[in-house]
Amino acid sequence: MGKAALATNIAYNIARAWRGEVRPDGRTESVNGGIVGLFSLEMSAEQLATRIIAEQTEIPSYRIRRGEIDPSDFDRIAQMAREMETIPLYIDETGGISITRGGGNVNTAAARNSFAGQAATTIGGTARNGGRVETFGGLNRNLASGRNSTALQDTTTVGGTAFGRGAQASTFGGLNSNAARGFGSLASQSTTTLGGQAFGRGAQSQVSGGFNSNLAAGRFSQADQQVLTLGGSAIGRGALDRVSGGGNRNAALARGSLASQQVVTVGGQ
């Protein structure tokens, strides 16, 4: 509690105390205080300025917001506003955080003449106006453990969009396991997870690619799995959209068997 109040107090007092001298080369050197840049990820510049004015004039901020002030209060607020125009305090309210991680990927060819091919792509989302986007490529394991076996895994995770203070879009590529264990077997897995959209203060979009297992265990068996998860839209203050690709298991266990699975999950609005 009180983090914003502490930060604005420090910023204001440093800026108010600033004094500069012009050097012979024409540059201005600070001799006291400093020029302050304040970056806000949630509150607007207007809200922060109102807080500073309320703290320095000792007029409760709720009275300023509601217009519950008398003439003497108005004069103090006006004087403080004029002072803030003259001090080197600059507020950037274009906040937005986008965090992207490629995930944990393991690719192993363990048997004679086996081949394991893995491709993992993670693309971050877009955060604006105090929004927060988190994109994680998931945990992906690809294994070719049967002699002459082939395991192919392709994982794509694309972050979502968050607009507005406190809006958050989280995208997780899921837990994906692909294994070719049988002699001459082929296991092919493709998982795609696309983040959703969160618009509005406190809106949340949560998308998970799910838990996906693809196994070719029989001699000369083939297992093909495709999983597509599309996030929806959370629009409005406090809205929530949660999408999960589910738990999907595809297995070809007998000799020469074929298992093919396609799963598509689409979020709502």
- Mean pLDDT highest for which of 101-110, 130-139, 145-154? 145-154
Which residues are 151's β-sheet partners? 116, 187
- Contacts of the segment 253-256: beta carbons below 8 A, 24+ positions apart: 253/215, 253/217, 253/218, 253/221, 254/218, 254/221, 255/182, 255/218, 255/219, 255/220, 255/221, 256/218, 256/219, 256/220, 256/221
> What's the farthest any 2 CA atoms get from each other in the chain?
90
Spatial CA neighbour of 203 closest among 173, 232, 246, 178: 232
Token representation of residue 76: 């103090």
Spatial CA neighbour of 211 closest among 238, 248, 180: 248
Q: Where are the domains of the chain?
A: 3-92, 96-266
* CATH number belonging to domain 3-92: 3.40.50.300
Which pTM does this prediction carry? 0.65
The percent helix, strand, coil of the chain (3-state, each to 5) is 20, 50, 35
Q: How far apart are CA 137 and CA 98, in angstroms?
A: 14
Q: Given this model, what pLDDT does residue 42 score?
A: 66
Helix, strand counts (H, E) of the chain: 4, 23
Spatial CA neighbour of 243 closest among 216, 215, 267, 218: 267
Backbone phi, psi, residue 14, to 5°: -65, -45
The radius of gyration of the chain's CA atoms, rounded to the nearest angstrom, is 28
| Mean pLDDT to the nearest integer, 62-66 | 80
For β-strands 104-109 and 139-144, DSSP reports them as parallel
Q: Given this model, what pLDDT does residue 1 score?
A: 53
Range with lowest mean pLDDT among 35-39, 95-99, 237-241: 95-99
Average pLDDT score, the chain: 88
Q: Given this model, what pLDDT does residue 249 score?
A: 95
Residues 132/170, Cβ–Cβ less than 8 Å? no
Q: Given this model, what pLDDT does residue 211 score?
A: 93
pLDDT digits (tens, 9 = 90+) for 161-180: 998 888 999 999 989 999 99
The H or E element containing residue 13 is helix 3-16
pLDDT digits (tens, 9 = 90+) for 249-264: 999 999 999 999 999 9
Residue at token pair 């595809």? 250
pLDDT digits (tens, 9 = 90+) for 1-42: 577 788 888 888 998 998 888 888 877 888 898 888 887 766
Give the single-character DSSP code of 164.
Answer: S
